[in-house]
Structure 1
């Protein structure tokens, strides 16, 4: 067994990180792991942390490996923001943390799973700590691409690129790690376009599969302006429904735990001022998390929708490339008969534009309506 067992389809990246963990000459103080969503950046970062802390450089069985991977090792700090960005205050805390020497292991490892969400001021606050590192401190930054990271940070980090893993590798991981039957594992891996986390969710959550089916079914139903407005509203509602379902129980639990920690009475109609201020802070954090989660869900829905037009374009080209929506082949074939290659490319461009606009804080419903009007299928 190895600490790298869940880092699938990344042989070149794993070889580089393994060599660094074993050979001080190949080691550097800051690493930048990039790769498309679902490629396993954070999994690789945690595995690398385990290999650095492990006396055998990544055996996968020892306490150091296990605690580094699950984020409980005393010298491994994992920062995964649930908001829209990493603020300067948090970056200053990380810079101060990096000055501490490791307490039990050979390295202090700081993993930032969303380095692309560092604001410019936050990146400036980290720059000196990364530029002039303390001995035995290692930074591992994760981002979708080099361009998503501030240039002053990426120029001081060693880059390791991850790629999208193959369908069979993702399916085998779901089967081995999560006990998913292989037919379902293959479906989930294809439908998630090899995004490991999403594939796991699709394989285990029937509601997620139903929502995805509803999203891709919109592709062939938009014929007029009225259909487009309705489809945009449906997409927004699907994203809101999933975001609300994911957040409601967790938010209530966090509020309950906070009241217990503060010694407050949860059944009281009003709370003392200091309790109310703590609750207000928690609600702000939950609102920021909900906004990010809603946008992430909506973006994933647009990626699912994009895959239908991609499959129709593959049918037009006759290329020997596997379809993402093989299980919905009749719908893909109907779309390919209704739209030519140029129309399909225009539709894909419209979806890409909507994703960019939503990322730039355009009101999601407006961006979706503009997109849906461009997706009209000739009757």
Structure 2
């Protein structure tokens, strides 16, 4: 299986990347390699597989056969262990200039196996302005065999000076049928469950896989879709907001607890805590307290991002619910993403007007915007719930 075979519904992008991989092989052989460039920008809506496409392209660049999918080079690239592939995942709310400069120094090294040095920067839109400026200089003057693969939701999420120096690969939302086929054939999901998950996820591949395989994810979705019918009074609005925020906090805590403990323990050992012997003590050596504080700040930022992402996923579920209500109100012949709760959709469609539904969608989108501006989550979600009650 070639490395690009796993990209669902991305025929145009596959064609571009396949030609570039061939050109990259020509460059390695001493040729001109028209069609290959040193900087690429992968864009597309959530769930379209930006990072997956970038990783597949990295494997194709590192593979002597252009991405055969079965050699050691491909395998190492796809699982992230290849020595010439540097993967960057901003864990906090942003990626700092200090981190970017350290990354640029690592990117300047020559490839260890003679082909390419590949830097895969996931969520490049999280780079701060100063970090983006530092990144721009590295992209403008890259080493001969270094390739930058940047991922972002849209080209406008990056500085124009950066995106103008990158070749754009725009991914699309795959059709639900294609996603269902992948779940059924590669994950052995029963076809009925696969079609439900693909429809509910609206083409978001990882979300569809989670819905198909994780009962807890399905339970959380049912809880979110039950919010509209529960907003019968002000007290119920406040309770629903509190429950939604608390769920996001619990999810963030569960996702970070083990990792935080491991990181803290390793750092304490690095700075000598618990060491014994002449001239040593059991406390942190000089500089350890500052490093520990910096680690704690990063961990808090990571937890905040996970909490915000969890809330945002729930808000998008609400948007899809009201979008289905609007479709029913207008009699649009489109497939409903939440057909499994058709009774609730029909009840609300009959009890409200399209104008009211649009105002509710606007309220959810406003809440997303406020959360992005660091408004207190409880206050932002409470205001949204009151607006949804109308």
Which TM class, normalised by the smaller chain length?
A: over 0.9
Query: Which segment is superposed worse, 244-253 or 333-342?
Result: 244-253
The Cα shift of 1:262 comes to: 5.5
1:210 equivalent in structure 2: 219
Query: Separation in 1 of the partners of 2:143 and 2:283?
Result: 48
Q: Which residue of structure 2 aligns with residue 329 of structure 1?
A: 342
* Equivalent runs, 1:293-312 vs 2, <5 Å: 293-312=306-325
Instruction: Provide the secondary structure at the position in 1 that maps to 2:223.
Output: helix
Q: Is 1:146–2:155 an aligned residue pair?
A: yes
- Partner-residue secondary structure (3-state), 1:374: helix
Matched residue of 2:309: which SS? helix
Aligned to 1:161: 170
C-alpha distance in 2, partners of 1:254/1:189?
36
Which runs of structure 1 show a deviation greater than 6 angstroms over 4 or more consecutive aligned residues?
none
Picking from 115, 130, 135, the partner of 1:126 is 135
Seen in structure 2, the aligned counterparts of structure 1 residues 269 and 217 have a Cα distance that, compared at 3 Å, is farther
Kept in 1: contact 2:272–2:284 (CA 8 A): no
1:19: how far off? 0.7
User: What is aligned with 2:205?
Assistant: 196
The residue aligned with 2:18 is 18
1:101 aligns with 2:114: no
Tell me the residue number matched to 1:2: 2
SS of 2:228's equivalent in the other structure is helix
1:137 paired to 2:146: yes
* Per-residue deviation, residues 56-100 of structure 1 (Å, max 9, x unmatched): 111111111111111111111110111111100111122222322
Q: Which runs of 5+ in 2 are unaligned?
A: 24-32, 276-280
> For residues 331 and 20 of structure 1, do their structure 2 counterparts lie closer, same or farther at Cα, with a shift above 3 Å needed?
same
Which region of structure 1 is more displaced relative to structure 2, 95-104 or 326-335? 95-104
TM-score by length of 2: 0.91
1:94–1:126 Cα contact (<8 Å) kept: no
The aligned counterpart of 2:351 is 338
Distance of 2:204 and 2:264 partners within structure 1? 32
What is the match of residue 63 of structure 1? 72
Q: 1:287 aligns with which of 291, 300, 310?
A: 300
- Find out whether 1:77 has 2:86 as its counterpart: yes
Offset at 1:200?
Answer: 2.0
Equivalenced residue count is 376
Identify the residue that residue 262 of structure 2 maps to in structure 1: 253
Deviations along 1:223-255, whole A, 9 cap, x unmatched?
A: 333332222222212211222222223323333
Question: Distance in 2 between the 1:179 and 1:287 partners?
Answer: 38
What is the rounded CA distance, in whole Å, between the counterparts of 2:269 and 2:182 in structure 1?
Answer: 39
Match of 2:329 in 1: 316
CA distance in 2, matches of 1:105, 1:326: 53
SS of residue matched to 2:147? strand
Say whether the 8 Å CA contact 1:358–1:367 is kept in structure 2. yes
8 Å Cα contact 2:271-2:284 kept in structure 1: no
Cα 1:128–1:241 change in 2 (3 A) is same
- 2 CA distance for matches of 1:320 and 1:178? 31
Give 3-state SS (helix, strand or coil) of 1:17's partner. Answer: helix
From the superposition, tell whether residues 162 and 61 of structure 1 become closer, same or farther in structure 2 (CA, over 3 Å): same
Matched, 1:239 2:273: no
Structure 2 equivalent of residue 370 of structure 1: 383
Residue 358 (structure 1) shift = 0.4
* Structure 1 residues not aligned, in runs of 5+: none
CA 1:3–1:271: 2 relative to 1, 3 Å? same
The Cα offsets for residues 157-202 of structure 1, whole Å up to 9 and x where unpaired, read as: 1111101111122222223333333222222222222222222222
Residue 175 of structure 1 corresponds to: 184
Give the corresponding residue for 2:360: 347
CA distance in 2: counterparts of 1:134 and 1:272, whole angstroms: 38
SS of 2:120's equivalent in the other structure is strand
Give yes or no for contact 1:75–1:105 (8 Å, CA) kept in 2: no
User: Take 1:249 and 1:202, find their aligned partners in 2: how far apart are those partners?
Assistant: 24
TM-score where L is the length of structure 1:
0.93
- Partner residue in 1 for 2:29: none
